Chains A and B, each alone.
Chain A
């Protein structure tokens, strides 16, 4: 009953999306406010219905209702509750439902918080948003319906792939999708502006917070995925330039560019056309990510060709929205008015440089990801484009970006003085040199480029902090004055500083781990010891253990450092009951210096020893801490009043400016 009710809610939601696509748009085209007004209740209704459908499916998963084909294929009654819930989106159908649910959530948020939008803009935005939901809704009902039932009800389900049964991965897709789908708002705003043929002054102000929220979620989602790959796959790596990873990374790069160009658009009413294009491209890349991951085209072009129904449907959706968006752009972009002028050396110029480098980087990732697919499709040759390609193309683009990064926030709008800004950054440069020398002294090995890159990372961190100290006049003003200034700084400045600092942390973490990782593969018998990066590891033995739905062999390793016990690690090998699949769980000791990472291998038949792989990954935590810092930086920026309000409410126009000053 609950299942069928959810099914009906899903159908009704799609029908409501159809209404919401057609009626408000008709309203704006025929200038009929009553039609435009329907957008808001429709968007909220659509969210409620998708939510009911989602909860009904979740209920089926939690109660293990195997009469639902999707549950039977992807769940198992012995799974712990959290993985029965995360199993909802651990499969194609369920994840599409989550996708449209998040889409509807963003749409409803625009409806609820968009009271200050001009009526026609809101109607257009919600109409475009609903058209995306409509397309994916039809796709779900036609090819990927999660509510189909089984006549012959199996007694238990087939289970969820064990490597997906993991906390980080359980919550990785919702964040990733919130990121992907969040960019749909920017897309809808862009299309709405193109439909109207003009861009409202507040356009960028409305787009920026949504883009920022989506960007935050995507940042966290990608970081979680990388974190999961790091400790679950047991290779000690954290990023593999895998097409699935790239599929989420491309919208992130484009979204980062969009975030920055929207800034220029808001402050200077310039780069309008470019920002609109970027908004369309960013969401197109999100759609492409969905296509790549959901169509199965990545596993093999041929697998896709054998069972093309879903892939072709998503490809069609993608073509309609990307093609339609770009066509509309081509038709209407000429009508958009251009804005203020600026000198090449200026805040605008710096942001343009940021955009050029980020979009070029996106393009290199795009080529590296799609070229193998294209080649396989055309000639059947299977090649893989791996780290060497990306190291040669992506990394060189990042270096100038990182070097220019601290300059940006120091630059005044319109026209700046690069010499003056350089002088302000001298301290950061000095710190960077110190870091470089220190790296060389400490490491005494590794590629020659590594110390330089470490210096770049430290320079970005220091340069970001310096912006804050400069603005607060630390070093030149009295203590009270500094405190007053720090209090008065808008939160968006703290957001900028923190986000850039996070980028620096990430660079340092990436370089340190990539260049200075220690790896040891060896066989230990119980009682044997090994030395890894200053730690003494003693293998105590292996014992069996039984979890809720797996059995495992758990190794025990005592870790000592300078003769003092540090910790005991338990790397293990698991066999899940259903499906019976082995996984290996790494034992990781985290410290500021880096991670000691241990993997238990196979037992050696002859002498009772076990194979082990030990890694020491220096400063690896900085990668994810950096991402976390970026996430919180986005949150701080989002809480800035100026971003949050978007446009003034007409009823409270009189007191808003005064209130803003008083509050901050």
Chain B
């Protein structure tokens, strides 16, 4: 309500200010353009005299300037403004008073109409300081965090504050903040397994899963405090793996597995890591073999590089068809046992499907996916992929023709 009264007062004041001259009595004389011009010339004449007195111009210059001005003065006093005015004059169709009343109506109506369309009159202002003084019961987690943050800015040496907020950050997935808060809590209050664990975990997560040096040190420290801690050992093994120390990593993973509880849900994760290491090993061996084995392939590659100019092509995903197995993938698949091979191919196909999900415009990718599903014997999936491919090729007769041909070739009856 107060807001609307304020609006009314301001609008009324505006109208009053604007309408006043319109409702005033017609005042007799207004400065005519001619008079103003003449006044300027007289002023300039005086200036010339002043300049001459100061010695800025000599008397000959002053004299010629005076003559010129005098000529302008005469000219101007002979001309009247009326000719120009009469030509431009419009009929006075509306009296100023009418305009004043129209203004008094139009200004409030127009401004309030526009405001109503754009404004949020029922919304109160919400300065942050006021919002943070709610009772905590009403406040959401965000506000509580903000409150603690504000407090910690005042007293950054308050370790308990950092200790309290750090796990909250971690849960809110603000990993960088969590890592920082755990680090401060450790510095101010000392190391405990809980803080070390929190610090290491949030640091790894903040770095997209890379076990960076501070996190590795923290896990090592955690192991001295809680020998045998599975999590710490797992991540230390992961650190080894990321550094390329595959043997050490595998040893670490296996040691985690040996004394893992029977029903530990994370066992499969560890096993997957071991499998990956095996795959990685065979990959390196395979690429080693193929490089020494086939000179022709290497020769072909170098020509391609030459075509591309001096820029070295990126190692894996180079080439025109991004989704699809790379040569390293295929080499890896060759080295695997039959069952593993099947799993590997399945994973590859899933990856391709995932990529097409994100980038459905890749027509060649769809062709490969349909073919891959049908080779794997997954006819239903192949059919579905074909439908998706058709949907994406809508309106393109050339592509539709190719899809038809493919469907006929593979015996997919759609």
Contact = CB atoms under 8 A, between A and B. Distances in A.
B33 A16 contact: no
B347 interface: no
Identify which of B18, B41, B87, B121 gathers the most chain A CB atoms within 10 Å of its CB.
B18
Contacts of B150: 77
Contact of A11 (B64, B115, B128): B115
B408 interface: no
Contacts of B21: 34, 37-38, 40-41
Contact of A642 (B30, B47, B72, B103): B47
A489 B56 contact: yes
Given A35-B99, A38-B22, A116-B36, A15 B107 contact: yes
Given A202-B36, A657-B46, A15 B90 contact: no
B3 interface: yes
Interface in A606-664: 642, 645, 647-648, 650, 653, 656-657, 660-661, 664
Interface stretch (B5-13, B215-223, B351-359, B392-400): B5-13
A650 B47 CA distance: 17
A202 B126 contact: no
B125 A1 contact: yes
A595 interface: no
Contacts of A153: 126, 131
A158 interface: no
A33 B40 contact: no
Size class of the B contact interface (CB-based, 8 Å): 35 or more
Interface stretch (B138-146, B224-232, B336-344, B362-370): B138-146
A201 B43 CA distance: 11
A556 to B, nearest CB: 23
B90 A201 contact: no
A509 B57 CA distance: 35
B43 A648 contact: yes
Nearest to B109: A15
A650 B39 contact: yes
A80 to B, nearest CB: 12
A4 B40 contact: no
B32 A118 contact: yes
Contacts of A149: 120, 123
Contact of A29 (B26, B41, B90): B90
B176 interface: yes
B53 A661 contact: yes
Give the one of A32, A78, A197 with max B CB within 10 A. Answer: A32
A67 B125 contact: yes
Interface in A2-44: 2-5, 7-9, 11-12, 14-16, 18-19, 23, 26, 29-38, 40-42, 44
Interface in A136-187: 141, 145, 147-149, 153, 155-156
A648 B40 contact: yes
Given A32-B92, A145-B118, A66 B72 contact: no
Interface stretch (A57-65, A93-101, A253-261, A312-320): A57-65
A467 to B, nearest CB: 12
Contacts of B46: 656-657, 660-661
A228 B355 CA distance: 45
A440 interface: no
B251 interface: no
Contacts of A14: 114
Given A45-B14, A67-B126, A7 B115 contact: yes
Given A29-B88, A30-B92, A413-B65, A4 B17 contact: no
A109 B92 CA distance: 30
Contacts of A454: none
Nearest to A335: B84
Interface of A: 1-5, 7-9, 11-12, 14-16, 18-19, 23, 26, 29-38, 40-42, 44-45, 49, 60, 63-67, 77-78, 116-121, 141, 145, 147-149, 153, 155-156, 196-198, 200-202, 205, 268-269, 340, 412-414, 471, 473, 485, 488-490, 493, 546, 580, 642, 645, 647-648, 650, 653, 656-657, 660-661, 664
17 contacts: A1-B3, A4-B123, A16-B18, A33-B30, A41-B21, A45-B17, A63-B127, A63-B128, A118-B31, A153-B126, A155-B143, A205-B40, A485-B54, A647-B39, A648-B42, A650-B31, A660-B47
Interface of B: 2-3, 6-7, 10-11, 14, 17-18, 20-22, 24, 26-27, 30-33, 35-37, 39-43, 46-47, 49-51, 53-57, 61, 64-65, 68, 72, 76, 84-85, 87-93, 96, 99, 103, 106-107, 110-111, 114-115, 118-121, 123-129, 131, 142-143, 145-146, 150, 153, 156, 176
Q: Sorted from nearest, which 5 A-B pairs have the closest CB atoms?
A: A657-B46, A63-B127, A37-B21, A64-B128, A201-B37
Given A34-B24, A268-B68, 12 more contacts: A4-B120, A8-B6, A19-B107, A31-B92, A42-B18, A63-B125, A269-B72, A485-B55, A489-B56, A490-B54, A645-B43, A657-B46
